[in-house]
Amino acid sequence: MIEQKVYFEDVQEGQEIPTLTVLCDSQRLVMWAAGSGDFYQIHYDKDFALGNGLPERIVHGALKHALLGRMLHEWIAPGGRIKRVACQYRGMDLVDKNVICKGVVTKKYQQDGQNIVELDVWTESEDGQKTTPGTAVVVLPSRGQ
Amino acid sequence: MTQSTLITDEMRSYIGRESEPVTVEVDKTACRMFARAVGYTDPVFYDEEEAKRRGYRSIPAPPGFLGHPVYNPARPQAGSYLPPFRTTVTRNLNGGTDIEYFDDICAGDVLTMTSKVVDLQEREGRLGKMLIIVSEMTYRRGDQVVAKMRGTLIRY
């Protein structure tokens, strides 16, 4: 059984949430292709990627979106729920590098009986470039519940 | 004065026009494969009993997964989220994803998805001339809207 690690009362604006680092090697990208159904060759065929003017195979944007979702899930599970994850793919992440997911709480409030927490979320490349800036909304359980 | 060369009147005519509904199935194997691809170790995405203990109807769709369209080989375009735009730019990059959830989505759900183009823009970028297509997808279970997704596609 997974223990609840975070409750609404524990969260403060400005607080960083636990980082998630994932190596996006070719195996991960192929697993993503199968899992997502996105078989665009720029993600697993190097010749095809170079032929499209790219420097290498690139990490799927939607995989980075899903990794941000995993970071949030692992922070709020089992009692929390993700309401929204939004991000923009500003920079390319190349195959065989770590994608580092981060988040900071920007706002917390109660609305319609729900404990709502808003965050800035983003991915960074190994050299510290913010390649995927975004925002998220989650609902957290209360200690009193 | 800027001159638009990529966006035709025909393409503009699609803005706001809702597509035919596409059936999207969420099943256990697809949820598990998606979860494994993202690297989840939480059993909620693999074990239906654990999911039920945690208040889900079945294995929940992991964040970012909204099921797979049911393909019709006689109508290969039916799974596409986009109108049949004819453009000189044919290479695709994903520009952004925004998904809002209004309810749990779980294995066993059969959703209908409709899509519409909400914005078309043209820009000059490091990859040359780019067409930016913003679409909005609405996912329903019966009459209930369970999720909305806004996607930005870049053609170059």
Q: Using CA atoms, how far apart are residues B65 and A62, in angstroms rounded to an integer?
A: 10
A88 contacts in B (CB within 8 Å)?
95-96, 152
Question: In angstroms, what is the C-alpha Rg of chain B?
Answer: 18
Which residue in B68, B121, B67, B66 sits closest to B95, CA to CA? B121
Per-position DSSP letters for A1-40, written without gaps between them: -PPP---GGG--TTPBPPPEEEEE-HHHHHHHHHHH----
Using the predicted structure, report yes or no on whether residue A7 has a pLDDT greater than 90.
Answer: yes
Average pLDDT of span B75-87: 71
B81 contacts in A (CB within 8 Å)?
none
Which residues lie below 8 Å from residue B51, measured CB to CB, with a gap of 6+?
B44, B45, B57, B58, B59, B60, B106
Q: Dig out the tokens for A91 from the structure.
A: 């920079």
Q: Tell me the shortest Cα–Cα distance from B14 to chain A, in angstroms.
A: 24
| CB of B21 closer than 8 Å to CB of B115 | no
| B110 interfacial to chain A (CB closer than 8 Å) | no
| Residue to substitute from B59, B93, B139, interface A, most A β-carbons within 10 A | B93
Structural domain spans, chain A: 8-24+60-139
| B145 interfacial to chain A (CB closer than 8 Å) | no
| B70 interfacial to chain A (CB closer than 8 Å) | no
Q: What is the pLDDT of residue B4?
A: 61
Grade residue B1 by pLDDT with cuts at 50, 70 and 90: very low
Using the predicted structure, report yes or no on whether residue B132 has a pLDDT greater than 60.
Answer: yes
Which residues lie below 8 Å from residue A116, measured CB to CB, with a gap of 6+?
A83, A108, A109, A110, A137, A138, A139
Q: Tell me the shortest Cα–Cα distance from A90 to chain B, in angstroms.
A: 7
Lowest mean pLDDT among A83-92, B64-73, B85-94: B85-94
Q: Using CA atoms, how far apart are residues B123 and B115, in angstroms rounded to an integer?
A: 23
Using the predicted structure, report yes or no on whether residue A71 has a pLDDT greater than 80.
Answer: yes
| Residue to substitute from A42, A88, A138, interface B, most B β-carbons within 10 A | A88
Domains and CATH numbers, chain B: 1-25+71-156 (3.10.129.10), 27-65 (no CATH)
Using the predicted structure, report yes or no on whether residue B2 has a pLDDT greater than 70.
Answer: no
Using the predicted structure, report yes or no on whether residue B27 has a pLDDT greater than 60.
Answer: yes
Q: Do B97 and A62 touch (CB under 8 A)?
A: yes
Return the CATH fold of A8-24+60-139.
Thiol Ester Dehydrase; Chain A (3.10.129)
